[in-house]
Structure 1
Amino acid sequence: MPLQSELSRSRSARRLAFESRRAFTVLELLVSISVVGLLVGLLLPAVNSAREATRRIQCVDHLREVGLALHNHHDAKKSLPAGWKFDPSGETAFGWAVELLPYLGQPGLFDQIDCKLPVQHPIHDHARTTTLEVLLCPSDIIDPMFALHEESEEDEDDEDEDEEDEHPVHVYELGTEPIELMRLPTANYVGVFGTLESDDSVPAPIGDGAFLENRLVRFRDFQRGLSHTFIVGERKMAQVPSTWFGVHLEGEDAAARIVGSALEGINQPLADECDFSSRHPGGANFLWGDGHVSFLTESLDLDEYHQWSKLR
């Protein structure tokens, strides 16, 4: 009996010791937290990178859809749509994407738009509030709508001086607020005007790209070849909000809301608002005349960048 009692006490002691060891000490808890934090720190960039890769693929798919719609439009109308086309009053203009709506699966929306009436006409209320997913880059941080304000007198007077600024500072008289002309749906993809600034004046200068003011361009005009000329590029909303629908011609940077220009390079901090940009690390996606999409890097030679944006 004494031996059995001793064995029983020994088992109980071992069990108590084992149970007491099942809890973490403060040091073990701190080490565990540090290890978990380190693993999260290692995994999070990989997760974010995978998400961005997925978004970039979606962006490419969107641009391919736009390219297919442009080719279908060209087959049907024998030309690309005009970059922007004035309404009969000459007060507003409709963007090139309006004519693509039937080829982007939006025939009903297209039927609600009458290009013989101004952009701000009540008949266009629905279109002016419709954001099209196919014209948005999933990587960008956007608001579905933005306000187009009237261009200030200072902007018009100091236009030449502003050409050297990163982004012109729009100054209004003390106590006044910028006049809101209309609200428009956001888009990330803008047509290529070429190597000139589209909003230098009204009417705009004759650009050397695929989407021009009140002018139609045909594939036969691509003297450098469809596969060597890009026609649509990305622009992030933080640079300047853009739209697919149309603009008031007295609006601030009106034409730049619909088309873009190859000027200082991709994602360049000192670039004009007309230039191209994206939130994809290292560059932006571009649609070429033959319908293929490629990623152009920020380190692209500036001369090549300019040449690829021109028809000749």
Structure 2
Amino acid sequence: MDDRSFRQRLQICWLKCDNASISRTRCRRAFTVLELITVIAIVTVLLALLLPSLGSARESARRIQCQNQLRQLGTALQGYHELNRSLPPGFQWEETEQSAYGWSVPLLSFMELRAVYEQIHSDRLLSDPQNVNARFCSVATFLCPSDITNKTFMLYEEDEESTSESPTPLFELPTTNYLGVFGTIEADDGYPVPKGDGAFLDTKAVRFVEFRRGLSNTIIIGERTMATVPSTWLGVDARGEDAVCRLVGSAMTSPNCVDCDECEFTSRHPGGVNFLWGDGHVEMVSENIDQALYRSLSKRQDDTYSSIHASTLED
């Protein structure tokens, strides 16, 4: 065999090897239907395992943020009490006693929110044009990240005798999830507003010395979801539906009670509601707490459970 024939045969062998190699490579890059189904099944199982954990982690982070915001309110309350020797009243009426400004308003200066405070003219009606900016001012510190809230809500006029399906709108107010504890009495029980037995009454300022069972055993601020009743940190109009209940809350039954009064405390956190206590610490109160104990913890002067420590409240 001459050299030319040998080179031709060798070249043909190389081409065959290359084609076979390319064919094998192409085969290796393809997926069969069975392999594709297997991959999808594995991914589905992994997502089913991971998504609940991710959701739980996100809720845990939101709960911690909510507690931190309550601590900020606690720090502001401590500063206010140090300066004024009392907590702010639950609400204060302007001269005509038509508009009431909430306990949160005096705290704004203690929360590095002086600019917001200066937009509020508490000597005028809430509906006054000078209060327009304040009525649309949403403060993130007052909103629980776990709740589904709007920045503002419309306050409607309360008219129990009206048969109209469209109540009269008054004006919009900024939303909050945090309400002062009025006690075991329903705040919206007619006018004049009844005297509560908690930390935030009507126009009366309460001092820490009045908490007979100790600051660490008394709840003073709690959560409420917007679905229970939209609430506000700014103030209300006396004509408004559930007006006073939108500034303060009552501990009458249990946290997260589904069929209870709209003035109760509720949250979207699983298992309970976050509360700020008189000494400034924040802790969740279980929705399964004994009702008598829950009511006692909201009172300024109740010795029934004086030996109860806050650490026993969660399941």
TM, length-normalised to structure 1: 0.90
Superposed, which structure 2 residues align to 1:60-139 within 5 Å?
60-139=67-146
Instruction: State the partner residue of 1:241.
Output: 230
d(CA) in 2 for partners of 1:134, 1:243? 12
Superposed, which structure 2 residues align to 1:96-245 within 5 Å?
96-154=103-161, 172-174=162-164, 177-245=166-234
39-48 or 188-197, larger mean C-alpha shift: 39-48
d(CA) in 1 for partners of 2:12, 2:115? 90
Unaligned runs of at least 5 residues, structure 2 = 1-5, 302-315
Aligned residues of 2:94 and 2:125 also touching (Cα < 8 A): yes
Q: Secondary structure at the match of 2:59?
A: helix
Deviations 1:257-307 (A, max 9, x none): 000000221111112111111111111110000100001111112111111
Instruction: State the partner residue of 1:252.
Output: 241
Unaligned runs of at least 5 residues, structure 1 = 155-171
- C-alpha deviation, 1:10, in angstroms: 5.1
Instruction: State the partner residue of 2:288.
Output: 299
Q: Percent identity?
A: 48
Deviations 1:176-223 (A, max 9, x none): 520011110000000000001000111111110000111110111111
Instruction: State the partner residue of 2:299.
Output: 310
The one-letter code sitting in structure 2 at the alignment partner of 1:124 is N
d(CA) in 2 for partners of 1:11, 1:137? 66
9-18 or 192-201, larger mean C-alpha shift: 9-18
Higher RCO by CA contacts (8 Å cutoff, separation 6 or greater)? 1
d(CA) in 2 for partners of 1:123, 1:275? 32
d(CA) in 2 for partners of 1:254, 1:282? 28
Q: Secondary structure at the match of 1:296?
A: strand
Instruction: State the partner residue of 1:264.
Output: 253
Deviations 1:144-185 (A, max 9, x none): 00011111224xxxxxxxxxxxxxxxxx525x5200111100
d(CA) in 1 for partners of 2:197, 2:134? 30
Instruction: State the partner residue of 2:308.
Output: none
d(CA) in 1 for partners of 2:295, 2:258? 18
The verdict on how the C-alpha distance between 1:110 and 1:11 changes in structure 2, with shifts beyond 3 A counting, is closer
Which of 277, 289, 293 lines up with 2:266 in the alignment?
277
Q: Secondary structure at the match of 1:126?
A: helix
Q: RMSD value over aligned CA atoms?
A: 1.6
Q: How many residues align?
A: 294
Q: Secondary structure at the match of 1:287?
A: strand
Aligned residues of 2:253 and 2:295 also touching (Cα < 8 A): no
228-237 or 46-55, larger mean C-alpha shift: 46-55
Instruction: State the partner residue of 1:169.
Output: none
